[in-house]
Amino acid sequence: MGEIGNPAAVSGGIDLSQFYGVFFEEAGENLASMEGLLLALDVEEPVEDDLHAIFRAAHSIKGGAATFGFADVAELTHDLETLLDKLRRHELKPSAAMVDALLEAGDLLKAQLAKHRGDEVSKNTATTELRARIRTFASGEAPEAAAPKGRLVDIRVGPLPDPAFADNLFELFRDVPDMGTIEKTDEGQADAEGCRHFRVRTPCGDEELRDLFSFHVDREHVHIRPVEAAAPAAPAASAPAAPAKSAVQEDDGFGFFMDPHEAREAAAQADEQAGVLPRPPRRRCPRPWPRPSPWPRPKRPPTSPRRAARSIRRRCAWPSRRWTS
């Protein structure tokens, strides 16, 4: 039997348990939307609006869970939110392993919520390993399980009669999981000599790579050059400068940028003056924040075989799927 509710149900004289039903319902909707967006996400070219929507879903669940006292849900969504925030700000690039971890987290959250609702839950709701993995992703490192070990090499392929031939190499890396990872460093365009450029992390030696590549391109067209170990990244040069004191009053959990009483007096004065004297125009503030994306939503690229496979795999996945219905 699962737990029903939580000990923090009454707060400030308000019985918070009266909002649980709405919270469970909206959390379920948010998780379903998050899952749908993640399954459709093209990790190479994620749609901006989708990244924001996925973040908002996790953010909303976190806010509700923390308010209504579901600590386990709040902790897991907090980790998710940290990772998703970096993705939507393009501080990190999504990867298939990352998406899988996020989907796994969605399943775990469903189980946690079901437990709080009092439903029977057979799934293990332990989050330690998954949270560690998500935090590792958020720190910018690839978790060991997802990151093939090996050396880093730059590979030039060509000259090619058709630069698109080189895209077949991605299939190779997909079909041979131990081969490592490959990424384009040429934005999909051939250089002036008709060569394509890639960066590969692989445990394979040069000859082994040439053997494998020869399924798609001639051996003599594969030029491999090791990447020099980069100097450790300099500490963030953009460390925020000590912020100017922004609040006139600040307490634990709230603060005012202006004295609310003075603001009230100003408002009263303004009311008196309304229609009598024009007030000076308010100084316009700079706008450093991103505005909601105004551009039309790009059309979704056709489903790749990998995404289709992932989707099918998840649809066939065991019990956790039932909670979506």
Partner 1 sequence: MHSILAVDDSASMRQMVALTLKAAGFSVVEAADGQEGLEKARGHPVNLVLTDQNMPRMDGLTLVRSLRGMPEYRHVPILILTTESSDAMKAQGKAAGATGWLVKPFDPNRLVDVVRKVIG
Where does this chain bind partner 1 (CB under 8 A)? 11-14, 16, 18-20, 22-23, 26, 53, 55-56, 59-60, 62-64, 66-68, 240, 243-244, 246-247, 249, 253-258, 260, 263-264, 266-267, 270, 274, 279, 282, 285-289, 291-292
Q: Is the Cβ of residue 7 or residue 243 nearer to partner 1 in the bound state?
A: 243
> Cα dihedral angle (178, 179, 180, 185), rounded to 10 degrees?
-160
**Eight-class DSSP state of 142:** P
Q: Residue 274: CA atoms inside 13 Å, Cβ hemisphere, count?
A: 6
Q: Which residue in 81, 86, 88, 83 sits closest to 63, CA to CA?
A: 81
In the complex, least distance from residue 94 CB atom to partner 1, rounded to whole angstroms: 19
CB of 286 to partner 1, least distance (A): 7
- Minimum distance from CB of 60 to partner 1 (Å)? 5
Listed in sequence order, the DSSP H helices in the chain are 20-40, 48-68, 71-88, 96-117, 128-138, 168-175, 206-213, 260-273, 305-315
Q: Which is nearer to partner 1, 215 or 257 (CB)?
A: 257
Minimum Å gap between C-beta 273 and partner 1 is 11
The contacts of residue 301 (CB under 8 Å, 6+ apart) are 42, 45
Which two structure tokens, joined as six digits, stand for 80? 């998710």
Least Å from the CB of residue 51 to partner 1: 13
Crossing angle between the packed helical segments 48-68 and 71-88, to the nearest 10 degrees: 160
Q: Which is nearer to partner 1, 162 or 271 (CB)?
A: 271
Nearest residue (CB) to partner 1, 13 versus 177: 13
- Give the shortest CB-157-to-partner 1 separation in angstroms: 43
Tokens of 51: 């990244």
Q: Pick from 29, 37, 108, 28: which is nearest to 307 by CA?
A: 37
First to last CA, the chain: 21
CA distance 228 to 216: 27
Q: Which two tokens stand for residue 142?
A: 């690839």
Q: CB of 282: closest distance to partner 1 in angstroms?
A: 7
Smallest separation, CB 307 to partner 1 (Å): 24
The DSSP bridge pattern shows strands 151-157 and 249-251 to be unpaired
The three-class DSSP label of residue 151 is: strand
| Of residues 23 and 213, the one with the C-beta less far from partner 1 | 23
- The token pair that represents 89 in the structure block: 């700000």
For partner 1, the closer of residues 1 and 244 by Cβ is: 244
- Give 122 or 246: the residue with its C-beta nearer to partner 1: 246
Q: Which two tokens stand for residue 75?
A: 């902790």
Q: Select 149 or 283, whichever has its Cβ closest to partner 1.
A: 283
